[in-house]
Protein backbone atom coordinates (compact mmCIF):
# COMPACT_ATOMS: atom_id res chain seq x y z
CA UNK A 1 0.00 0.00 0.00
CA UNK A 2 1.21 3.52 -0.87
CA UNK A 3 -0.29 6.81 0.15
CA UNK A 4 0.19 9.98 -1.84
CA UNK A 5 -0.65 13.63 -1.38
CA UNK A 6 -1.25 15.58 -4.58
CA UNK A 7 -0.91 19.31 -4.16
CA UNK A 8 -1.02 21.83 -6.98
CA UNK A 9 1.47 24.66 -6.68
CA UNK A 10 -0.39 27.80 -5.70
CA UNK A 11 0.84 30.22 -8.38
CA UNK A 12 1.35 27.74 -11.20
CA UNK A 13 0.48 28.93 -14.72
CA UNK A 14 0.93 25.64 -16.52
CA UNK A 15 -0.43 23.30 -13.88
CA UNK A 16 2.37 22.02 -11.68
CA UNK A 17 1.92 19.42 -8.99
CA UNK A 18 4.25 17.83 -6.49
CA UNK A 19 3.11 14.41 -5.39
CA UNK A 20 4.60 13.15 -2.15
CA UNK A 21 4.30 9.83 -0.37
CA UNK A 22 3.36 9.17 3.25
CA UNK A 23 6.95 9.93 4.34
CA UNK A 24 6.78 13.36 2.63
CA UNK A 25 9.24 12.18 -0.05
CA UNK A 26 8.75 13.35 -3.64
CA UNK A 27 7.20 10.51 -5.68
CA UNK A 28 6.00 12.29 -8.82
CA UNK A 29 6.12 15.69 -10.46
CA UNK A 30 3.47 16.86 -12.88
CA UNK A 31 3.87 19.68 -15.36
CA UNK A 32 1.20 20.94 -17.71
CA UNK A 33 1.63 22.77 -20.98
CA UNK A 34 1.26 26.52 -20.82
CA UNK A 35 0.46 28.02 -24.21
CA UNK A 36 -0.97 25.11 -26.18
CA UNK A 37 -4.46 24.99 -27.66
CA UNK A 38 -4.99 21.49 -26.22
CA UNK A 39 -3.65 20.92 -22.70
CA UNK A 40 -0.94 18.29 -22.12
CA UNK A 41 0.55 16.98 -18.88
CA UNK A 42 3.72 14.96 -18.26
CA UNK A 43 4.02 12.95 -15.07
CA UNK A 44 7.55 12.05 -13.98
CA UNK A 45 8.67 9.76 -11.19
CA UNK A 46 11.18 10.78 -8.50
CA UNK A 47 14.06 9.85 -10.86
CA UNK A 48 12.75 12.24 -13.53
CA UNK A 49 11.52 9.55 -15.94
CA UNK A 50 8.20 10.12 -17.71
CA UNK A 51 5.72 7.53 -16.42
CA UNK A 52 2.59 8.90 -18.08
CA UNK A 53 1.25 11.62 -20.34
CA UNK A 54 -2.18 13.18 -20.52
CA UNK A 55 -3.32 14.84 -23.76
CA UNK A 56 -6.49 16.80 -24.28
CA UNK A 57 -8.20 15.70 -27.50
CA UNK A 58 -10.62 17.53 -29.76
CA UNK A 59 -14.24 17.15 -28.74
CA UNK A 60 -17.18 19.29 -29.85
CA UNK A 61 -18.90 19.80 -26.51
CA UNK A 62 -17.27 18.01 -23.60
CA UNK A 63 -13.72 17.46 -22.42
CA UNK A 64 -11.87 14.39 -23.68
CA UNK A 65 -8.40 13.25 -22.60
CA UNK A 66 -6.14 10.40 -23.66
CA UNK A 67 -3.95 9.05 -20.87
CA UNK A 68 -0.85 7.03 -21.77
CA UNK A 69 0.89 5.14 -18.99
CA UNK A 70 4.32 3.68 -19.77
CA UNK A 71 4.09 -0.11 -19.99
CA UNK A 72 0.28 -0.15 -19.87
CA UNK A 73 -2.58 0.40 -22.29
CA UNK A 74 -3.81 3.94 -22.84
CA UNK A 75 -7.27 5.00 -21.72
CA UNK A 76 -9.73 7.79 -22.53
CA UNK A 77 -11.60 10.04 -20.11
CA UNK A 78 -14.68 11.62 -21.70
CA UNK A 79 -17.00 14.04 -19.94
CA UNK A 80 -20.66 13.20 -20.60
CA UNK A 81 -23.81 15.29 -20.49
CA UNK A 82 -25.64 15.42 -17.16
CA UNK A 83 -28.15 17.89 -15.74
CA UNK A 84 -27.09 17.81 -12.11
CA UNK A 85 -23.58 16.49 -11.62
CA UNK A 86 -20.66 16.00 -13.99
CA UNK A 87 -20.42 12.49 -15.37
CA UNK A 88 -17.36 10.86 -16.89
CA UNK A 89 -16.85 7.77 -18.99
CA UNK A 90 -13.50 6.03 -18.79
CA UNK A 91 -12.72 3.76 -21.75
CA UNK A 92 -10.07 1.02 -21.80
CA UNK A 93 -9.00 1.54 -18.19
CA UNK A 94 -9.90 -1.91 -16.91
CA UNK A 95 -11.08 -0.33 -13.64
CA UNK A 96 -14.52 0.43 -12.37
CA UNK A 97 -14.81 3.87 -10.82
CA UNK A 98 -17.27 4.13 -7.93
CA UNK A 99 -18.10 7.31 -6.08
CA UNK A 100 -18.63 10.99 -6.70
CA UNK A 101 -16.33 12.69 -9.21
CA UNK A 102 -17.70 16.15 -8.46
CA UNK A 103 -16.71 15.86 -4.82
CA UNK A 104 -13.55 13.94 -5.81
CA UNK A 105 -14.36 11.10 -3.47
CA UNK A 106 -14.18 7.77 -5.25
CA UNK A 107 -12.62 4.30 -5.40
CA UNK A 108 -11.03 2.38 -8.25
CA UNK A 109 -12.02 -1.28 -8.43
CA UNK A 110 -10.34 -4.04 -10.44
CA UNK A 111 -12.25 -7.33 -10.62
CA UNK A 112 -14.38 -6.16 -7.70
CA UNK A 113 -11.39 -5.41 -5.44
CA UNK A 114 -10.58 -1.85 -4.30
CA UNK A 115 -7.16 -0.90 -5.71
CA UNK A 116 -7.23 2.83 -4.87
CA UNK A 117 -9.11 5.37 -2.80
CA UNK A 118 -9.14 9.08 -3.78
CA UNK A 119 -10.33 11.96 -1.58
CA UNK A 120 -10.12 15.71 -2.05
CA UNK A 121 -9.37 17.76 1.05
CA UNK A 122 -11.88 20.58 1.15
CA UNK A 123 -11.10 24.14 2.20
CA UNK A 124 -7.40 23.80 1.42
CA UNK A 125 -5.58 26.09 -0.92
CA UNK A 126 -4.21 25.00 -3.27
CA UNK A 127 -6.20 21.88 -4.29
CA UNK A 128 -5.03 18.89 -2.27
CA UNK A 129 -5.90 15.21 -2.70
CA UNK A 130 -5.19 12.17 -0.57
CA UNK A 131 -4.69 9.05 -2.68
CA UNK A 132 -4.27 5.56 -1.23
CA UNK A 133 -3.16 2.90 -3.71
CA UNK A 134 -3.54 -0.63 -2.34
CA UNK A 135 -1.87 -2.30 -5.33
CA UNK A 136 1.38 -0.48 -6.14
CA UNK A 137 1.24 -1.65 -9.77
CA UNK A 138 -1.71 0.72 -10.27
CA UNK A 139 -0.02 3.83 -8.82
CA UNK A 140 0.94 5.46 -12.15
CA UNK A 141 -2.54 4.95 -13.66
CA UNK A 142 -4.26 6.22 -10.53
CA UNK A 143 -2.16 9.38 -10.33
CA UNK A 144 -2.76 10.13 -14.04
CA UNK A 145 -6.51 9.59 -13.62
CA UNK A 146 -6.71 12.02 -10.69
CA UNK A 147 -4.73 14.72 -12.53
CA UNK A 148 -6.93 14.42 -15.65
CA UNK A 149 -10.22 14.52 -13.75
CA UNK A 150 -9.03 17.45 -11.62
CA UNK A 151 -8.23 19.42 -14.78
CA UNK A 152 -11.64 18.66 -16.32
CA UNK A 153 -13.25 19.80 -13.07
CA UNK A 154 -11.15 22.99 -13.09
CA UNK A 155 -12.17 23.74 -16.70
CA UNK A 156 -15.84 23.27 -15.83
CA UNK A 157 -15.61 25.67 -12.89
CA UNK A 158 -13.84 28.26 -15.08
CA UNK A 159 -16.58 27.97 -17.72
CA UNK A 160 -19.29 28.44 -15.10
CA UNK A 161 -17.50 31.49 -13.68
CA UNK A 162 -17.12 33.02 -17.15
CA UNK A 163 -20.82 32.72 -17.97
- What 3-state DSSP class applies to 93? coil
Q: Which residue from 33, 35, 138, 39 is spatially nearest to 95, judged by alpha carbons? A: 138
Distance, C-alpha 31 to centroid of its chain: 12
pLDDT at 139 exceeding the cut of 80: yes
Q: For residue 74, which phi and psi values (nearest 5 degrees)?
A: -80, 160
- Percent pLDDT > 70 in the chain is 84
* 96-100/87-91 β-pairing: unpaired
Which residues have C-beta within 8 Å of that of residue 64, sequence separation ≥ 6?
56, 57, 58, 76, 77, 78, 79
Q: What is this structure's pTM?
A: 0.84
Q: Distance between CA atoms of 63 and 155, rounded to whole angstroms?
A: 9
Average pLDDT in the 102-125 region?
83
Q: What angle do CA 36, 38, 43 make, to 5 degrees?
A: 85
Q: Which fold has domain 2-162?
A: Porin (2.40.160)
- Per residue in 54-98, pLDDT (tens digit) is 998 887 777 788 999 998 889 988 877 776 666 677 888 888 778
- Per residue in 20-58, pLDDT (tens digit) is 999 999 999 999 887 777 889 999 999 999 999 999 888
Q: Distance between CA atoms of 34 and 89, rounded to whole angstroms?
A: 26
Show me where the domains of the chain are located. 2-162
Amino acid sequence: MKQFQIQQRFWSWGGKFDIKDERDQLSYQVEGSLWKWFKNFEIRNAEGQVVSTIQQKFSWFFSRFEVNVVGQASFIIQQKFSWLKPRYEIENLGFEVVGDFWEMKFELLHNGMVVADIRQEWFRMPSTYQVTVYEEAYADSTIALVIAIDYVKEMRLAAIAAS
